[in-house]
Structure formats: structure tokens, C-alpha cells
Structure 1
């Protein structure tokens, strides 16, 4: 694709990156076949190729309207198009750059601006978010469905005790923003699994939000500050020999793995950010690497024949390129995996998308639940807190008599280990 970027951006780092990405696109349109919003809306401008044209127009100095912003807002950033693209177009980075420019040219106002401000300021801060969830559970019957649906009962129940043994092998883990308040047992289960494998899991309290939430809400400078804070918090542990930075939320993992790229122009943090990105592992990657030690521990009988449908989050399969790993671990634990049609498609959670684009999000959720429920599973497993709570809010999948519980896969795996 030929480009003529406007003077305001062409010589900036963002402009140079955008120009390189645009030039890799060959207009083939393969991306539209796997784009969830294009499938729902049938509009070229609500597919990756159309959005690329819109961003190109903006960066070349063309007109920017609220309609332009709407088409970019509707993108889930699921990155399914990147998995499909034969040319390796880094669409998500182009989208980040384009959205920021559009946001500056067509600022939001009123309730829309306040909603995004609240999401940026409340969700990344557990000391604000957790009390809000507690109040929300009380007021849930009176809240609009777009908010009430996001307040589940404790997903997976309260946190079970964490191991106290000190191990020679240590990994860091990110607690996350909303996960401790919504599903506190996920990291506790991961800690118990790793403890049985001879690895101690540590959460550094000075770390906080990974930065993805603010970054994708166009508060990119604040997001970079979130990243720098985490690097500062983790670095002493890295120097002390922590062998990995563990992510139990695939959305966080996809973002932290990009720290090196996002901070490459920061001379004080570039090298450290690259090292942090290199050390970051999804929980599935780390556990699979210990499979030889894990297999003798698995108690197959309780799960024998128990049917589970696995929803692979976009941030796992497209963002991190991890496919089949969780399924392998669940199968090793004795679960029977049911087939899931169109497993590459997004469930509609996509960070704050389910709040900001509720109608499209619900359509995608209902479609996903139908696909997951087709094999009549006893439980649905996933790898990201956003997907978990979003699917849980959908109730019973079509064709099933009742709602199917949604759990994090590491909790299911941990329950198959002999109790000590």
C-alpha cells in the first residue's frame, strides 16, 4: 500500500511505525473472513481492511469525523485478522496509533467522556474497584443490565489457602486489577499448582495494572507510567533470579509481552522492558513446561469423562499465539474436551468493549455461548477474567437446560491434583 503521511505525524516514531505497517497491507481482504464485527454488520468499514483505509486517510491528513471514530470504536482489537493475514500486518498497533490521532481530532464529550474517564480511573485501582463491586452486588437488581451483568457472584468461589512453603525456584505473578475482586481463587489455584511442581509464586504488592486498560482507552501516557511502575516493582526480583513473570489473565499477558516494543524509545526503561517482556509467560506455558512433573500428580479418576468446553481468549490465541496448550493440560487431567465451532471468534468481552459497545458485545457473547454449549459440557473453561465474567453473565447457552458454570482452567487443573 502506497502512503503519503501528513507532516504532523510522518517523522514521529508513531508515524514511522504506522507507515511501515500500512505498506505491508496488500488489500487481499482475507482478514474480513475472520473479523467478528464484519460478520455481524457486513460493512467494509467495520472490518480490518476498511479500518486500515480509514486510518490511512486520517494519517494522510484527510477528514476525521465521529463516524470515523465509531468504526474504530467498534473494533474489538481481538487480532483474529492478524492470525489470518498472510502479509503479517500488525493491525493492532496501527489501530492504537489511529485511535489516538482520531481521539485528539474528535474529542468526546458528555456521558461518553465521563464513562471512559471512570473506566480509566476506577478499574485499574483495586482500592476503588473492589468496594464498588461489593456495593454493586447489593444494588445489582436495580442497575442497568450493561452494568449489572458485569457483577457476577464470586467466580469459582472464595480464594482457598495459598501455600506457605519457600521454594528455590520462584516466579512473579501479576495480581491484576479486577481479578482479585471478581475471582480471587484464580491466582490462589495457580500458586497451589506451582507449589506442587516445586515453584513458589510471588505477587509483588507494588505492581499494579498492566497498563492495557488505559492504553486501549487512549490514555497512553498514563498507561506507559503503569508499565514503568511495574518494571520498577519487578526488577529487584528479576535481579534476584525470578525465572518468569506469570500471567493468569491472558489479556494482561498479551500486553506485558509488548512492554519492550511500547517502551523501546524510553532510554531509561527500554532494556528493562525488553527483559520483562522476554520473561513473561502465560500460566499455561509455564505449567506445560513442567508437564513431566505434573503428569504423575494428576488424579484422573475424578475428572474421567467430565465434559469441558474451552473458550480460548483472543489475547491467548491471537495476541500471544498460544493454541492447544490449555486443551492439552485439561486432557491430561482427564477431561473430555467438547468441540467448539468458530473457536477463533471473540466472545465480545474485549476489555471494556462489553460496557462501551453492549449491543454488539451481547450478540457475540450469545453466539459464543451457543458454540460452547453445543457439546453439552458440564463446565466452560477459559483463560482470561474478562471472558470469564462476560460469558458467565450470559446465562444458559441456547439448547442447554441451565447455565453452565464458567471457570478458569487452572482452577479445574488444581482440583485434579491430590489434596495435601
Structure 2
């Protein structure tokens, strides 16, 4: 009934971070069928109907009893206010690691579905897959399609088959090699400390006893502009992720004092699912991601395409060397060496993903993925800026979650607008021949 958390998963326990999937809908929703669909999915994934408990000197997942397992919540409310509420509503400490809410606007034709999952048991890819699976079950129920099969390893209600942690699926490694990798990473972090973005002095929170609340500033491109940005990235021999990272780095540099180059850090999550042998399906509810941190000298005059080429080449080299596996192995050392993941900008990248497949008469107006957490530490005075990047159905979206105790809405809107201007410039500039990039 218990499944110990591995050291990597345990890091998420203190963070209390969560993935917030939301889907704005137009049409008729059968709340009973949606509740049954959510029940079917949580039955197939024991991690979704579990809580975190103390286990010796660590933590473990423990199955909730039938009366405690999560069920679909429904209510009528203003949808914009409901989204803000759910974004700021933490999962209950010691309670279920998932929550599903259906909010309907007065009139009953517009709705918001919100699915929240603790990052201890999910990552971006698995949370998106989970969201779409809920709607697959819903569609099957309301159209009399054959129901989707549950996970083969779900087990029984009394003896669940817990998924293995990704740290147990890594290829074998020599302990001396891992130790040498850790030493080198710590040395590089000390040699090149990165600058962070100072909190906005005009922030709306941050007073004594005021920890603010989470807001999200959002950037979106339509399908045409998204396609043009992808095309320019291909022509330049870089990824869209690298273009976005370059835009963020240049925008962050303009928030720093002084002239000349400054050392900035770019943290890029790296998916491990497709790089394991055999690959791990996105339906398996475990966090399966590591990170790549690189430092770059960025000045007011840095060429954005040159920055993008550097980011792109270094990430590719990191993966080609198999360093992503070493990075996962040293993750438990982060609490003792936080500089290992300290960056000026954090740029996630889910890539191009499908939205939910819905029955006739129901349409997804908007789909969003936003990370949230409990502590933003306004007392630190500065922090990284996070950008959550995903393309649902061919439309690029960048979400900038932040605490109002750290950055004001006006500050984040200005940051977002500069990033947007940079991406539009990328999408429209003429082709340039790729340059040789130093990947050291």
C-alpha cells in the first residue's frame, strides 16, 4: 500500500509545486459523465489517489481510502475568477495529489475544466496526456464508444501497481564518473555565478505579512505566426526553444544595471521519457525530466540569433554526451548546492502537443498548462523569471507565472511584450547563414 519516493521525487515534496491544466469549453458538458471519466482515470493511476506520508527518514506514497480519493468538483461561477482561484488553491497538505474541477458560467454553455496534479507524481508531458485521457473517457461515455482501457499495471484497489521512479530506470553508471561530473558542475557554478532579475519595486505585494498571490502573464501566437517562427528556426538551424530562450535572455539583460556583458543563466528542462531504453510512455505518472543549465555572457548589443545558436548547440551537446542522465543522478545534491539549478531564466518546452478530442457539440476554446507552487520567497529580492512554453494545436503559448509579492503585473506585462516583439522580429527577419558556435 506504500511506495517509497526516490531522492529525486522527494525534492518536489518540500516545493509543493503543481501542474495546473485548464481547458475553456463551449457547449454542453455532462457533469456526471465527466465525474465518471475522472474516476476511471484515477482508478487506473494509483498515484492520483494517493497522499504523501513520512517513511522513516524519507517519504512515501500511500493509497487513500475510498472516502478520501479525489472526485470531480462542480460549481457555477465567473470563469475568469474561477481560474484565478484554482491557480492559487494548493493541493491539501496530506491529501490527494490530484484535483479536478468543472466550473460552469451562468447559462451553462461556457465552462472551465481545471486539472491539478502534484509535481511529485507528474511532469508536463504526463499531465497533458492525463488531461487528454480524461476527455477520451468522457467522449467514450457520452458517445457509447468502447471505453479506453486502463493501465495494464494499475493493479487492484487493494494492491496497486505503483510506477517505478525514473531514477531506477536510468542506464548503469560508474559512481566515480557521477562524482566527477558533480564536482565539475559545482566548480563551474562557482566560477560563473549568474545574475538574477531584481524584484519590481512597484510590486503590489511583498509588504509585511503579505506573500502576494500567483498571477500569469501570457503570450500567444496564432497558427500563422507560430508556423512562421518555426520556419525561421529551421532556416537558422536552431530550435524554437533556442529562439525563445534568446529572447528571454535579452529581455532579462535589459532589467539589469550596468553596461557591458553580464553572466546570465538559462535553465532548460530535458525530457527523459524518449531517451530511456525502452522509452517511457507519457501515460506513466512520474516526473521524468532533468535540466540543463548553461551560462552566457549577454550584453545590450548581443545578437539574438547568435545567442539562440549558442543555446541550441549547448543543449544538443549536453544530450549527445549523455550528460542528461548524470544530471538526473546528481539532482539529490541540489539542496546542498542550489547554484546547480540557479538561472536567470527558466524556459520549459513541451513542444507541439494535441488538445483534447471532444464529442460533437463541445469545443475546446483554449487549453493551458501553468506550473504553480507555494513559496516564491519575496524576501530574496531577486529570482529567475519562468516561462512555460507549449504549443496546443499549432498555437504557441508562453505563460509567465509569478507572485505579486515579487513582480507587479505591469512589470511582467512589459517583460512579456518585449519577448513578443523579439519573437515577431525573429519570425519576419530574412534568412541568415548559420554561424559556427562555441559549445564549450
Q: TM-score, normalised by structure 1?
A: 0.28
Q: TM-score, normalised by structure 2?
A: 0.27
More strand by share: 2
Which gives a bigger RCO, structure 1 or 2 (Cα 8 Å, sep 6+)? 2
More helix by share: 1
